[in-house]
Every structure is written in structure tokens, then in C-alpha cells.
Amino acid sequence: MNLLWRLVTPNIGPQVCKFAKRSLKSVKFPFGSSNSLLHGIHVFHCPDDVGIVAKLSDCIASKGGNILTADVFVPQDNNVFYSRSEFTFDPAIWPRGEMDEDFSKLSRMFNAMKSVVRVPEIDPKYKIAVLVSKQDHCLVDLLHRWQNGRLPVDITSVISNHDRGPDAHVIWLLERHGIPYYYLPTTTGKKREVEILELVHDTDFLVLARYMQVFSAEFLKSYGKDIINIHHGLLPSFKGGSPSKQAFEAGVKLIGATSHFVSEVLDAGAIIEQMVERVSHRDNLRSFTQKSEDLEKQCLVKAIKSYCELRVLPYEKDKTVVF
């Protein structure tokens, strides 16, 4: 296989090693033996029925857990139930494996379509790969937030169809933290999807941080996991090239950004997050573009965090429930 790529050689100094070894502390609360308590999250999606909330509450309370928040959604025109609960528990009383089995029993009892439990302090972080084209603003923002511990993921690699010189700021950041950068130039007839699949096979989901390529249905089926994309506007407006210039010339008064799941139809996947900001005649193209890029960064990060915190659930065909 003729794979053209650049692997940035790790050059990890003491500061990076310190970051890598940093451990997460248990959540502390003003009641009970706070030092031993951990924080859990559980999401549930099943056909609606009587007693679901009671059973979920009893499952947690019977093992000494304490529910902190509980969100429930039951649509009026659809016989389905959605919930997300956050709770504290003592792992000495309720071991992690036993917790999984208890929630699995509930899943079988109510024929759940989705039942996921996560304990962020002890469960592995989600592994992601970030794909990007020429524009760096979203990627750089993700790297800085990850570096500061404000992004709950492990970035395993960055893949791009745009070459970057060794002195580029992004390359310096990646080299500093030992994150490999793969350059896979694409053409209309060669999207390098086989090579990309090989590089991302062990990730939990993908992030397209302004990756200006459309994946085929075969790629989406082969990968089989979620892909989060950021779009430069409130879909479906201003598609194609130079979106900021299009919107600026149209004299819009509101600009936006949309983060959504990738589907087989271009820019038609279920929406996770949208953000807007006002602009006016006082903006020039430079300030207009800057505001747009800032929205894209914020919107993408919010979507990734919501996804990692189990706040996003599929709803109907092309919608989401976001708690």
C-alpha cells in the first residue's frame, strides 16, 4: 500500500509527562464519606411503560447511590421513554461490574434500545481521531482544550488532506504531545477511505474539524460508529465554498454554526448543537469571519462534551434528544 503520511516524532518533555500522569480525583460532596464517592451517569431509551422511573431510582438507591439529577422525556406522539441520570455511589458498596449487571437487568426488563452507564473518573476516556483540511481554527481549539484537561477525550491522531510544514503551529502542538499527524492527499476519485479506516479502527468516534471531504456510504457502514461534524452556518443555508463571504454579501443579521452527526446525505445528519450571534453593517469581512469561526469552535466543543457526557440520544429518524 502506497500510504503517504507524516508521523510527527514525539518529543515529550517533563511538562508533557506530568500532564500524561495527571490523575482524576473523586468528586467531593458535602455529605457522607465524600472521599470514597464516585460520580456515575446512566442513559436509558426504551418503549414507554409504567414504573420505569421507579425501577431506575430503586436500582440506584438500593445500592446506596444518591441521584443528583434526573431528566426524562416522553414524546406525546411516540410511545418511547428517554432518561438521563447522574448519581453518586460508593464503589466499595456497588462495584463497577455489579453496576453494569444491575442496569443490564433493567435493560432486559424493559426491552431497552439503549442503556449505557459511565463512570468518568475510572472508565477509559473516549478515543477519537480528528480529521481536518486547510483551516486550523477548530483543530487548534480542540488541542488547547485537550491540553488543559477541558476536553474529556484522548486524541489518538490527526488526519488531514492538506500538508503542513514542520514549523506550523499545529505540528508543534502535536509533536509536543506525541500525537501522530497523517497527511493523506485526496482527489475527486481517490478519497483515501481505506487508509483512513485503518488509522481510525480503534477509535470510539470521529470528529471532523472542518474536514472538507464527503465520506461514502461504504465508509460510514464500515466504520460503524458516530462521526461528529461542524458546519459553518445554520443548516441548510450557505452551502459550498466561501460560506462567510456568501453570508456577508447577503447582508445577514444572524450567523450561526451547527454541529451534527454525519449521515449518507450531505449535511443532513441529526443536529446535536447550534449557536448564533448577531452581526451588523458595522462588521467587515474580517470581523464577520472571526465571529463565524469562534462560533464553530464553541459549537463543536459543546457537541463533543455533550456526547461524552451521554447527553445525546437518537430521536426518530433525523433528530436527537439532548439533555
pTM recorded for the entire structure: 0.83
Amino acid at 161: N
Tell me if residue 130 falls in helix, strand or coil. Answer: strand
- pLDDT at 86 exceeding the cut of 90: yes
Residue 142 backbone phi and psi in degrees, to 5: -60, -40
Residue 181 backbone phi and psi in degrees, to 5: -115, 125
CA distances from 294 to 7, 227, 236, 287 (A): 29, 21, 19, 11
pLDDT tens-place string over residues 186-208: 988 889 999 999 999 999 999 99
Residue 183 backbone phi and psi in degrees, to 5: -100, 115
Sheet holding 114-118, edge to edge: 66-73, 80-89, 38-47, 114-118
Q: How far apart are CA 267 and CA 260, in angstroms?
A: 8
> Domains along the chain?
38-118 (3.30.70.260), 126-322 (3.40.50.170)
CB 210 within 8 A of CB 140: no
- pLDDT at 8 exceeding the cut of 90: no
Q: How far apart are CA 290 and CA 175, in angstroms?
A: 27
pLDDT tens-place string over residues 172-191: 989 999 999 999 999 888 89
Amino acid at 3: L
State the cell numbers at 28. Answer: 467531593
**Given phi > 0 = left and psi -120 to 50 = alpha, else beta, which region is 265?**
beta
Give the highest mean pLDDT range of 76-80, 107-111, 147-151.
107-111
- CB-hemisphere CA count at 13 Å for 172? 5
Catalytically active residues are 267
CA 168 to chain centre: 26
* Structure confidence at residue 13 as a pLDDT band (50, 70, 90): very low
The pLDDT value given to residue 265: 80
**Given phi > 0 = left and psi -120 to 50 = alpha, else beta, which region is 139?**
alpha
Q: How far apart are CA 248 and CA 246, in angstroms?
A: 6
* Structure confidence at residue 242 as a pLDDT band (50, 70, 90): confident
